[in-house]
Copies of this chain bind each other. A is one copy, B any other.
Amino acid sequence: MIRPWKVIRSKPIGDFRIFKLRSDVSVHPDTGEEHDFFVLDSVNWVNIVALTPDRELVMVEQYRHGSGTVELEIPGGMMDAGETDPVVTGVRELREETGYEGNAARRLGQVLTNPAIFSNTCHTVLVENCRLKHGVEFDQAEDLVTRLVPVADIPKLVAEEKIKHSLVVVALYHFDLWQRGIKKIGG
């Protein structure tokens, strides 16, 4: 039986806009041994599975500064201050990044972004009947192109690693499981 460790000291190291870094000292629950760990804190993130009436997925192509590559992804972003419902973030990010708006927006699933080093969660929001209704409103240094991709092509695009962002692949697996009746929404 694995039991949680206890954090006995925590020291902030710095604020790097997207994340803050801290150094924790934690104690093993059985042995009492102390170890230190670096942890990254960020607000929660939200990715959006946005479907059109023609069974297409609203995707975006964008340059990513971590990998230095152009990636095919689904829209997404960080929860703004004051946003407590990931659905609100999802609908907002979908509109800002693509101009699309739909209905029946709801939570499809969530994962831990990387529980070894990050404390936050990434939500996936599903939106149906999406249509282009607005102009885009990019954040500073954002630069995206919308791509409509048939839903039927998605598993192959993941399999062929044309879609490479781990959190996008996670969202698409939850979507795949929902389509197959294995994932229940809200469950």
Contact = CB atoms under 8 A, between A and B. Distances in A.
A161 B182 CA distance: 12
Chain multiplicity (copies): 2
7 contacts: A2-B143, A4-B68, A5-B63, A68-B119, A71-B115, A110-B161, A111-B164
A63 B112 contact: no
Contacts of A3: 63, 70
Interface of A: 1-5, 7, 13-14, 16-19, 21, 24, 26, 28, 33, 35, 37-40, 61-71, 109-119, 122, 140-141, 143-145, 155-156, 158-161, 164-167, 169-170, 172-174, 176-178, 180, 182-184, 187
B65 A37 contact: yes
